[in-house]
Structure 1
């Protein structure tokens, strides 16, 4: 009941003319980011970060989160109408969404996607509402050793469950740790890894890094892969068909619940929306009695990835708010914003900044409703924008990113660093290295280092402090299990290969 009363207070914070206006603006910008290949939610949120520096934290996070919801919805539009996923997490939607639209049912495909997405997002927000305070209260018992164990668990779970080859994930994490170490050491006060550049004493700007990694990097890929023309299907929305489709979604109730559960799990762990959508699609195809129709316009093939995608995207904010550990790349960008605004994500946030936390959670309910309504109303407009030549859109995006990077601290070095990160992001994508671990390590790498060194000071250099009680031992043990998962998988695969055929 305490959470419900706090949520009602959150609605009082969120339900103002200013915040509703910010939701509308954020969702519209998010849909634009989602439908345009080469951007994406992490980059879109990072582009808006400099604009929020002068805003109140509640208003700023409502704007950013609304853009996130809009980007998730917008990615489905191009996946279905053009067979071009605007978001990586929308790739699985193309498998059945585009065939259904191409066969003359674009409204049914869009309504199925949006209805499933809204359900998944709602489940994710309800999960946050019910569990956030409990997780935060449990985290209040944490000391430096427990916090390091949580960070270790986050890093280990990326290696064991992130979906990318463990070696590549480790490389990505290592680069993130190195970047997080640039500047002044918070424990000893010494300056390190600045290479004689005085401006680097303050460290590498997180905002500049994500602008380059997600903005310039994705833009280079989009320019490289841009085809001469984009062929789409009709984008007119037939409202009777929309309501008929939404009314029929309960027939897929089991798929909705199962996909929402997969999405929430992958959101809380670092699997992320992309992995959730693919996993949910695969599970749905395996257990569906109509599995032969998957890939030909099967409705459940849209329900599964869209529900999981949005459930994961929403629930990824739970570990970010309660523990200070982001569950996705976009959550990591938002966490960077919180730190820039002077807020420290973690259990104390629920005590010291109740208006902020519950205003954000309440805005999630409202923002997803606003996103659902706006995306249905604006599908024809944004579908028409997809036909604008990409050589016109590309310079505009580049200008926005460059101005945003410079405005962070009015430094040309930041622009140069942003370009360098863009090249790094491009290489990571081409070589299939994951960016999310790098972003995670940049955001919480210094926190993990501080927790480790404080633990060592308390224990006088003994590693036994990480196994000194049941909680920290359990967290460390689970982390080591995650690290062992890839090795166990390789052993199992080798045994399967060497097993003689019957």
Structure 2
């Protein structure tokens, strides 16, 4: 009942004309960001973030989350109409969405995608609502050792549960930690790794890094591929929309399974991309029409879209509750919370319940608005992709550099964006994950401060992480298990081969 009353209070905050207008603007900007390859949700949110510095935190987070939902929907649109995933998490949607569009069922495919996405997002918001009360009780048990244990668990989960190479995740994370050490030491006040540049006293802005890694890096890769936008002209016909909506109950099992997978991958650092591929694979595995997958099977659109949006929504919960972002976009949003003067973590639910529950209530409203707006604006945004990339590409570069400069008005930030752009391109080519680096840049100094404060409490003894409380010991055990899991799984594979 407490959660329900808190949610009603949140709706009283979110359900205002100003906030509804912010949701509409955020969703439309997000669709544009998702439609244009080379931008993407993390970069779009980071470009919009400087505009929120003078806003109320509740209004700011509503604008950013609405842009996030819109970007996810925009990625689905280009996947189905152009066979171009605007978001990495939309890749799996191209497998069956584009063949459906080629067969003349573009409206059916788009409606299935948007309804599935809305259902997955709503499932995720309900999970967040139910778990938030437990998080508040959990918050009261935290001190410096517990905070460091949670940070370690976060870093370890990216290594132990990541879909790619664990060693590549470690390299990416180490680079993020190196960037996080630049600037003033939070404990002693000494300067570190500034190399004589006074602008580096405040450290390397993670927003500049994100703009370079995601914006410029993606753009370089797009230019190399010589991307052309040749798509299917789509008209949303009301009759086909209703037919697609009427077919949704027939996919109830796929919807439920995919939503659960998405929630799990969103709360853990698996992320929307891994969730969409996993859900697509399981949908094909348990389908009666296995042979039709890849040729225009409706379930092949429902599964990845449901998991994608469920994961994207649930990634917000660990960011708010534990200061642990479940995706790259959530990591950017978490940096925004710090800029607004809020501390992500368990105490946020106690200190700023208006912010937390206003954000959760806006997720219900924002996702409903996103489904309506995306259905109404598909033809307009699809037409944008018929503009030559030789025009769109330079515009994206200009937007990225304007975003980098507006963060602090420093010319050095413009020069820093360039090497981060090259690094993002190299990471993409070599298969290195970018999210662990962004996470380490955001959380690195906080983890260091928590560790050093714990050492001061214990007079230099590491035993504090095992004896301070059963909670910290449990979290540390989980972290060690996740860190060692890649080695354990490699040993098990070798034994299986021998057997």
Normalised by the length of structure 1, the TM-score is 0.98
Residue 149 (structure 2) aligns with: 149
Q: Which residue pairs with 1:139 in the alignment?
A: 139
Name the residue aligned to 2:264.
265
- Cα deviation, residue 457, structure 1: 1.1
Match of 1:172 in 2: 172
Shift of the alpha carbon at 1:474? Answer: 1.1
- 1: CA distance between counterparts of 2:488 and 2:234? 48
| d(CA) in 2 for partners of 1:406, 1:64 | 19
Task: Please state if 1:348 is matched with 2:318.
Answer: no
Matches of 1:359 and 1:11, distance apart in 2? 6
Aligned equivalents of 1:298 and 1:465: distance in 2?
A: 55
Deviation of 1:133 after TM superposition, in Å, equals 2.8
Q: Deviations over 1:347-372 (max 9, x none)?
A: 22122222211111111011101110
Any conservation in 1 of the 2:136–2:350 contact (CA below 8 Å)? no
State how far apart, in whole Å, the 2-side matches of 1:140 and 1:297 are.
51
Q: Judge conservation of contact 1:146–1:472 (CA < 8 Å) in 2.
A: yes
Mapped partners of 2:374, 2:290: distance in 1: 29
Match of 2:55 in 1: 55
Q: Deviations over 1:1-41 (max 9, x none)?
A: 11111111111111111111111111001001111111100
- In the alignment, is residue 82 of structure 1 matched against residue 82 of structure 2? yes
Which residue in the other structure is 1:18 paired with? 18
| CA root-mean-square deviation | 1.1
Give the whole-Å Cα distance in 2 for the aligned partners of 1:239 and 1:140. 52
Q: Say whether the 8 Å CA contact 2:156–2:480 is kept in structure 1.
A: yes
Residues in 2 aligned to 1:494 and 1:388: alpha-carbon distance in whole angstroms:
52
Other-structure match for 1:214 = 214
Query: Equivalents in 1 of 2:429, 2:140: separation in Å?
Result: 42
1:136/1:323 contact within 8 Å kept: no
Contact preservation (8 Å) 1:209, 1:417 = yes
Residue 133 of structure 1 contacts residue 322 of structure 1 at CA under 8 Å; is this kept in 2? no
Match of 2:282 in 1: 283
- Superposition deviation, residue 104 in structure 1: 1.2
Residues 1:474 and 2:485 are matched in the alignment: no
Partner of 1:98: 98
Alpha-carbon distance in 2 for matches of 1:133, 1:222: 44
Q: For 1:314 and 1:103, how far apart are their aligned partners in 2? A: 32
> Could you say which residue in structure 1 is the equivalent of 2:338?
339
**Residues 248-291 of structure 1: CA deviation (Å, up to 9, x unaligned):** 11111111111001000000000000000001111111111211
Does residue 483 (structure 1) correspond to residue 483 (structure 2)? The answer is yes
* Superposed displacement of residue 111, structure 1: 0.8
Q: Distance in 2 between matches of 1:118 and 1:77?
A: 14
- The separation in 2 between residues aligned to 1:178 and 1:384, in whole angstroms, is 43
SS of 1:245 mapped into structure 2? helix
**How far apart in 2 are the matches of 1:302 and 1:242?**
15
CA–CA separation in structure 1 for the residues paired with 2:317 and 2:275 = 16
How far apart in 2 are the matches of 1:285 and 1:473? 40
Q: How big is each residue's C-alpha offset from its partner over 1:213-248, in whole Å with a ceiling of 9 and x where there is no partner?
A: 111111111122133x43212311111111221121
Structure 1, unpaired ranges of 5+: none
Q: CA deviation at 1:138?
A: 0.2
With 102-111 and 480-489 compared, the bigger mean Cα shift is at 480-489
Q: CA deviation at 1:140?
A: 2.0
Q: Distance in 2 between matches of 1:286 and 1:20?
A: 41
Instruction: List per-residue Cα deviations over 1:428-463 (Å, max 9, x = no partner).
Output: 111111000001011111111111111111111111
In structure 2, what is the equivalent of residue 449 of structure 1?
A: 448
- Alpha-carbon distance, 1:410 to partner: 1.1
| Counterpart residue number, 1:370 | 369
1:29 matched residue in structure 2: 29
Task: Please give the TM-score of this superposition, normalised by the length of structure 2.
Answer: 0.98
Aligned residues of 2:145 and 2:465 also touching (Cα < 8 A): yes
Q: Which residue of 2 aligns with 1:295?
A: 294
Q: What residue is the counterpart of 1:494 in the other structure?
A: 494
How many residues get paired? 498
